[in-house]
Amino acid sequence: MRIRSILAYIAAGVVTLALPSIVMAHTKVVASTPAQGTTVARPKQVRLTFSEALLPPTVATSIVMTAMPGVKNHGEMVIRNFTSSWSDGNKTLTLMLRQPLRAGSYDVRWQAAGADGHRMTGKVSFNVS
Ligand SMILES: [Cu+2]
């Protein structure tokens, strides 16, 4: 009985020590096409690969044009003409545009809840020439 309670005490300690690494493992984008900071020819799809498998209903993404060549104070324009699909065991999200993106600057903004339920947000920015 005494040994059992000691073992339970040790097990509780191990779980407590393991917690910080679980909390730290927040969802992030580990790769994208176009890649962050690059300039590409008019893409017809955008792909985000996350650090972990996600539940698609928890993921929201938007493609926002933030600047257009030759237009001052363009403001933000949300691009809506795409469909999306998951692959790679729900780690990779592909946004397929009905028309290639026009020249300009873009943010792909995302939010997603990872395994610990915390909602994370981020963005990938790139230029289209
Ligand atoms: Cu978290």
Domain segments of the chain: what residues?
26-128
For the four alpha carbons of 7, 12, 13 and 15, in that order, the dihedral sign comes to positive
Residues in the chain: 129
Which 8-state DSSP code applies to residue 102? P
C-alpha of residue 50 to centroid of ligand 1, in Å? 15
C-alpha of residue 40 to centroid of ligand 1, in Å? 33
Residues 45 and 49: their CA atoms lie apart, in Å, by 13
C-alpha of residue 68 to centroid of ligand 1, in Å? 36
- Give burial (CB, 10 Å; 0-12/13-18/19+) of 13: exposed
pLDDT value of residue 116? 86
C-alpha of residue 120 to centroid of ligand 1, in Å? 8
pLDDT value of residue 4? 65
pLDDT value of residue 115? 84
pLDDT value of residue 5? 64
C-alpha of residue 26 to centroid of ligand 1, in Å? 5
C-alpha of residue 58 to centroid of ligand 1, in Å? 14
Mean pLDDT on 61-75: 95
Higher pLDDT, 116 or 111: 111
Which 8-state DSSP code applies to residue 56? G
Is 16's pLDDT higher than 70? Answer: no
* Top CATH class, 26-128: mainly beta
Dihedral angle, C-alpha 92, 118, 109, 43, nearest 10 °: 0
pLDDT (tens digit, 9 = 90+) per residue, 113-129?
Answer: 888 888 999 999 999 99
C-alpha of residue 46 to centroid of ligand 1, in Å? 26
The answer to whether 68 and 103 are in contact (CB under 8 A) is yes
For the four alpha carbons of 111, 50, 89 and 117, in that order, the dihedral sign comes to negative
Higher pLDDT, 11 or 44: 44
C-alpha of residue 49 to centroid of ligand 1, in Å? 18
